[in-house]
Structure 1
Amino acid sequence: MTRADEPAGESTIRIPTDRLTLASITPAVASDLSSSGDGGYRWVGSAPADGTRVGAGLMVEQYEEGTFHPEWTMYVLVRRADDLAVGAMGFHRAPDGDGRVEIGYDLVEGARGHGYATEALRALSAWALAQDGVRTVTAVIDRANVPSQNVVTRAGFTRVAENAGEDAGEDAGEYVYEIRR
């Protein structure tokens, strides 16, 4: 990880992987993304996925509530080969008192199936587990989302629980995965 000396509104934390750079976003970038902007990035397929917009909106809410922590934000996944954003990954909130932090992610459709999510999840989880007081990174995955279950498994997470939905049919509910320090 490197900290860049960049102007306000730009990423301050960058986590490199083999093919990607995970760039933290600021509240200003989150606001732009949540209101149909591009956040200052060029995206595969020309726009971020809906999950990125939802996650950015959560970051804006945290900023407005005074609970935003710059390091526990969303990270845009930028492909090094062409500087195109392929998706986003980030933390739902800062770690809790037990040292647990939840992570979520999505990729634009045109970037799926190339291992980017697994690569980024390994890097961001390792970064989180290296922070003081963090002992566990969790991911909650819809039971029907088999591709995402495969991503977390390849990244080293283990399924630890199942949450049934209100209308717990065969595909209802979620699985909870975690990776520990």
Structure 2
Amino acid sequence: MTSPDAPGTRPADGGNVLTTPRLTLREVRPDEIGPLLRGRPTADARWAEGYPSEGTLGGLVLVSRMLLVDAYRPGFGLYQIVVRDGGETVGDICFHSAPDENGSVEIGYGLVEAYRGRGIATEATRALTAWALDRPDVTEVRAETDPGHLPSQRVLLKSGFRDAGTHDGMHRFVLRHAPTGAVPRSA
């Protein structure tokens, strides 16, 4: 039997759940998207001041579009970031789509202001990218930031991403599988 706290478990009500020492990342189920877009938490949810953000709503729209064109794959949706000490939802991290034909996926994330600068985004990014890169059809995880968004760039670099330069006005980062037999580098 798998513990509900084990990485990548799927609870009885659906949705993927990943845990870290301080966080629970809970994938939003398709039936929860509508209420979230209307700003309504589930009965047992506690939202930090400022959640959901504009980025949350954008992530939910991405997942909704995937559902509409039958491109959604469970696990590759939007995850709420819940601080285990206190149980508040403080942000989210989202796949922009399921893996493409090359095994590439893109992520985005955001936290409410009161929880920034505590390593939460880095912890969530590391957990979600580790989960993704453990899938056989994922070869790389990508992310983009505005060129001046240094805190977000630091999160990606601390999470093991490589700076891939600027393209179309956005700063790009990538994290790939280590080659078979390679020794992982420490950050």
What secondary structure does 2:102 align onto? coil
Runs ≥4 residues deviating over 6 A: none
Match of 2:144 among 140, 145, 157: 140
What secondary structure does 2:75 align onto? helix
TM-score by length of 1: 0.88
Partner of 2:12: 6
1:123 maps to 2:143: no
Q: CA offset at residue 6 of structure 1?
A: 2.7
| 1:95-174 map, 5 Å | 95-164=99-168, 173-174=169-170
What secondary structure does 2:71 align onto? coil
- In structure 2, do the counterparts of structure 1 residues 2 and 136 end up closer, same or farther at CA, with 3 Å as the change threshold? closer
RMSD of aligned residue pairs (Cα, Å): 1.5
Identity %: 35
Q: Deviations over 1:23-63 (max 9, x none)?
A: 11111222222233335531111632210111011111211
Distance 1:95 1:125 in 2: 12
Partner of 1:170: none
Structure 1: which 5+ runs fail to align? Answer: 165-172
Q: CA offset at residue 4 of structure 1?
A: 4.0
1:175 maps to 2:171: yes
What secondary structure does 2:49 align onto? helix
Distance 1:72 1:27 in 2: 12
Structure 2: which 5+ runs fail to align? Answer: 1-6, 178-187
What secondary structure does 1:71 align onto? coil
Distance 2:86 2:55 in 1: 23
Letter in 2 for 1:21: T
Alignment check: 8 A CA contact 1:4 1:14 kept: yes
Alignment check: 8 A CA contact 1:118 1:151 kept: yes
- In structure 2, do the counterparts of structure 1 residues 69 and 4 end up closer, same or farther at CA, with 3 Å as the change threshold? closer
Structure with greater proportional helix content: 1
Letter in 2 for 1:179: L
